[in-house]
Amino acid sequence: MTETNKAYLFAESEPSEVQKNSLHKFIKETVGTDLEIVWEKSDKYPGGFALKIGEKIYDWSTSGRLKQLKELVSGVSSSDDIIPLIKDKLSDWTPAALAEEIGEVLTVGDGIVTIKGLRHATYGEILLFEDGTRGMALDLRPDEIGCILFDDDECIKSGSSVKRTGKTAGIPVGDAFLGRVINALGVPIDGQGEIVKEGYRPIESPAPGILDRQPVNEPIQTGILSIDSMFPIGRGQRELIIGDRQTGKTSIATDTIINQKGQNVICIYVAIGQKSSLVARLCNTLKKSGAMDYTVVLSASAADTPSMQYIAPYAGCALAEFFMNRGQDVLIIYDDLTKHAVAYRSISLLLERSPGREAYPGDVFYLHSRLLERSAHLSDELGGGSMTALPIVETQEGDVSAYIPTNIISITDGQIFLETDLFFAGQRPAVNVGLSVSRVGGDAQTKAMKKAAGSIRLDLAQFREMEVFTQFATDMDEATKNQLSYGNGIMEMLKQPQNHPYSHCDEVLMLTVAQYTRFKTVNKKDVKSFIKGALDYIKEHNSNLLARIDSTGRLEDIDKQEICRATDAYLKQFEKEHRQEA
């Protein structure tokens, strides 16, 4: 007799003949034919027994009855209705109403489990092993299922049982997560106790449709002058930060989070494969700046399994969607997606998927497109919330044409490229003006910023070109000298210390002062002190001007003239002081 012609009875004691006859009758009514009953001694079903027919288990124990009763009364609100319902159910009890699919572990290792059975399991469904370990179905084959584990696999062995839960992998959400550090499953890892959740969201969900979105036309200020003036970022945009290792990518993300203080923007920082010490340092920086109050840090560190690193960005995105769907603006940082792709490659190779270019699986593009497409500026009918994504990608020797960088560049709405040579030359942030771009452009700038920035990007591009041609020249005309002087002054002005973002008004004033003076009489080494002094002078003597720019978001011609007059007055004072020092 084959295994399919047997039904397995799990109970503490062997059934009597009367019980066997009842079971044979139940089996015939359930599957249409009689099966041989094989008794296996088990203490997992106290107060009753369980019957396994194929992949289904009919639980006739105390816990099974309680589970069914919970499902029965879940939709009943009044206690007066519950009691008669329970009495009626107990008077006509049958185990057929409760069935579970049970599978069997074939192989286990490196956080990957191969399971036989569970034919009706779905992609992304949570699976529960007999020791309580959780996993997620990631590879569905005709006869087997590939499952990634969220916990250790020490207690799982070949032959262990596993069952479906019917729940999609997700993360708890709520306002209580603000200011906390959690892992990819939403469990707090900062030692500050449990977090009260308000709901549960699946980590994978469809991106908003075209009609559910509205244009990206509201700026999200980074506080970094070089970015806000030349490569503006809008609410709902996806702007890639790309560059070699140790070129300041995370610093740009951190400064952007700090600059959201008082802007009513929720920030989520997702650390993928980072060292725990670096994450702790970032949390300390955010606390000192008062930014942790509106920030959630989700960490899947380098010590975590590839499975946790794989689900981390999706979990962070699900948490961001909770706030976005309530009409709030969210900024989410993925640091970084290169390590995320490497973690997915490891999982795919262990699942025996066919490797492609650089051993990545064929769906590595879809891996990131389905994540980044969830960033959007929702329509007013859906609350008008937004999710702005700043994914980070690490390059090797500045090669932006590598596999993963080109994939993500094609998905995002622009990139900020950080150049190694500029970084080591002291230009920080080391933004390369030629390779960086924002495809949203001036739509994501205030009218004041657009007017103040003017042609700064074009001026810098001409300066870089002129600098190359004139580095060996000994004799230059006056126009070339002025252009080089202005370019050098702009480069000095764009140098910005870490964790010191500028306000919108400060950026507008700095750009207007630079355009007006063009640094003709200011030495390169004095540019920073001149700009700082000019700002202080204007704030002291023209306080109404600052309030007007902040409230209206505009820079009128009369405002510009007022800034120029104040700059003239300060420039005379500045030159006098330097002549005296000389």
Quote the strand ranges of 13-91, DSSP E: 36-41, 50-53, 56-59
Q: What is the pLDDT of residue 93?
A: 47
Q: What pLDDT shows up at residue 83?
A: 58
Say what the pLDDT of residue 36 is: 85
Residue 474 has pLDDT above 80, yes or no: no
Specify the pTM. Answer: 0.84
- Write down the pLDDT at residue 22: 82
Rounded to whole angstroms, what are the CA distances from 375 to 65, 210, 482?
A: 44, 12, 44
Q: Which residues make Cβ contacts (< 8 Å) with residue 227, sequence separation at least 6?
A: 233, 252, 416, 429, 431
CA distance linking residue 330 with residue 265, whole number of Å: 5
Q: How confident is the model at residue 1 (pLDDT cuts 50, 70, 90)?
A: very low
**What are the pLDDT digits (tens) for 298-332?**
999 999 999 999 999 999 999 999 999 999 999 99
Instruction: Grade residue 224 by pLDDT with cuts at 50, 70 and 90.
Output: very high
Sequence-distant (≥ 6) Cβ neighbours of residue 74 within 8 angstroms = none
CATH number for the domain formed by residue range(s) 3-97? 3.30.2320
State pLDDT tens for residues 528-552: 999 999 999 998 888 888 888 888 8
Residue 48 CB partners (closer than 8 Å, separation 6+): 11, 59, 60, 61, 62, 64, 65
Instruction: Name the CATH architecture for the domain at 451-581.
Output: Up-down Bundle (1.20)
Least reliable range by pLDDT among 62-76, 384-398, 506-520, 567-581: 62-76
Q: 466 vs 437, 474, 479, CA distance in Å?
A: 21, 14, 11
Q: Tell me what the mean pLDDT of segment 163-167 comes to.
A: 87
Supply the pLDDT for residue 3.
55
Maximum separation of any 2 CA atoms in the chain, in Å: 113
Fold of 100-169: Elongation Factor Tu (Ef-tu); domain 3 (2.40.30)
* Mean pLDDT taken over the chain: 88
Q: Is the dihedral of CA 517, 522, 525, 531 positive or negative?
A: negative
Q: Residue 409 is which amino acid?
A: I
pLDDT at 85 over 60: no
Per-residue pLDDT band for 124 (boundaries 50, 70, 90) equals very high
Q: 């080089």: which residue's tokens?
A: 484
Helix (H, G, I), strand (E, B) or coil at 8: strand
Region 180-194+229-443: CATH code = 3.40.50.300
pLDDT category, 194, cuts 50, 70, 90? very high
Structure tokens at 406: 């080109």
The residue extents of the domains of the chain are: 3-97, 100-169, 180-194+229-443, 451-581
Nearest CA-CA partner of 328 in 340, 319, 339: 319
Backbone torsion region of residue 420, taken as left when φ is above 0, otherwise alpha when ψ lies between -120 and 50, otherwise beta: alpha
Asked if domains 180-194+229-443 and 451-581 share a fold, the reply is no
For the chain, give the percent of residues with pLDDT over 70.
Answer: 91
Q: Measure the CA–CA gap between 332 and 334, rounded to whole angstroms.
A: 7
Catalytic member of 134, 213, 353, 439? 439
In this structure, the number of other CB atoms found within 10 A of the CB of residue 125 comes to: 21
Clarify whether 579 is annotated catalytic: no
